[in-house]
Amino acid sequence: MPKTTKSNKQPHSSTHLAAPLAGKVALVTGASRGIGRAIALRLARMGAAVAVCGRDKSALDAAHREIEKASARVYSQLADVTRSADIAELVAKTEGALGPISILVNNAGVGIFGPVQQRTEQEFDQVLATNLKSVFLVSRAVIPGMIRQNSGDIVNISSLAGRNAFPGGAIYCASKWGLQGLTACMAEDLRDFGIRVSSILPGSVATEFGPHVKDPSKALVPEDIAHAVATLLTQSKQSFISEIQLRPLRKS
């Protein structure tokens, strides 16, 4: 069941400094754990009302409770962002609970790795649907509202795999290279409406998604990506950072 929480917390007296996203409504996909959860928490602490979705109820409920501690207004809903019907319901109920969406973070993603000749059609469809098609579907559902507001931010969480090839990465790289192209074209389509579309390309991140990370000291953490999102959302109105690449300081 969808879940909405409203608390009695009052805005900070220095709203702009302490809560630069006060009055904004953010939707973060794939936010029940890892990078998405860190992003949702960061936006809540910056004053935004936050909606989150995922497919794991227990993880989503836990994320909801954690975000609730940081934000006066939070909404969560189970949703499969590869399905148009789920997305339509998610956007409608988010806006009904929190108001018009002004920030969208497309974070939902999966990774299947291994030699291309060993991968299946089903695996290809799963990765491309989650990492690429869902960005198109969710953005398409949110954009009309942003056009009405004549402003908005769409942040797509990509990967350095969208710029670099590596053995065993064929399907994943294909999805992220495609996401880079989609992001760039969306940005050109929407900039005249006051809508910024940007991508963040992290390297290795120490999460459940990245079991290949052998030395966490040589990997990013989810909060690093959340910091990059915050940077995009707090730039001046006339500025447009189209892409941020993030790498661990130390090479593995």
The residues annotated as belonging to the active site are 172
Q: List the structure tokens of 52.
A: 């989150």
Residue type at 214?
A: K
Contacts of 43 (CB under 8 A, 6+ apart): 21, 26, 28, 50, 103, 105, 229, 230, 233
Q: Which helix (H) or strand (E) holds 198?
A: strand 195-202
